Amino acid sequence: MSAHLRPAWYKALERTTLFLAVLAGLSLLFMMMVIAVGVVLRFVFAYPILGSNEIIQLASVAVVMLALPYCTETRGHVRVDVLDEAIGRAGRFSGDILSRLLSGFVLSALVWRAWLKALDAFEYNDATNMLNLPIWPFYAMIAAGMALCVLVFAAQIVLLLAGRYEQ
């Protein structure tokens, strides 16, 4: 989408997703470092870190959830483009609205459940097995990441209806 078409509020949304993607990148590098350090300690110094896989797994939650809004905003999701011409301009327009409405609805359901689960995990002190790391922040991260995706879908629907979203 060309820059002059985007209203200021959409640019703010873009900046937010970009900022979270920076954090996702840092989590990614952190995850790589934990793997490498763990291997070196275990193989070279025969000193394995018990539970390093838990750090790696939780880091991967952060990578995906922080990057998903950016991926959604920059239209990184793979779709089937075989019949784009065949369905015509009206078909493309209604399809773009419909798929964002439905996707947004399903992700909203996910946000709601992830939020409930975060509260539940907080209340019951759910933690990982080896390192006893609290789990609720990671459910909260799913709720937040998916909520931002819903916001992105909503914003794109508004732009589509205003005719300010280029395909």
By CB under 8 A, what part of segment 116-145 binds another protein? 117, 120, 124-130, 132, 138-139, 142
Determine, following the binding rule CB under 8 A, whether residue 152 of this chain makes contact with another protein: no
- Which residues within the stretch 36-75 sit at the binding site for another protein (CB under 8 A)? 36, 38-39, 42-43, 46-48, 50-54, 56-58, 60-61, 63-68, 70-71, 74
Cα dihedral 153/158/160/163 (nearest 10): -160
Cα dihedral 62/140/135/28 (nearest 10): 0
Piece in contact with another protein (CB under 8 A), picked from 6-14, 87-95, 156-164: 87-95
How far is residue 118's CA from residue 141's CA, in Å, rounded to a whole number?
Answer: 9
List, in sequence order, every residue forming a beta bridge with 127; answer none if it has no partner: 134
Piece in contact with another protein (CB under 8 A), picked from 5-13, 81-89, 155-163: 81-89
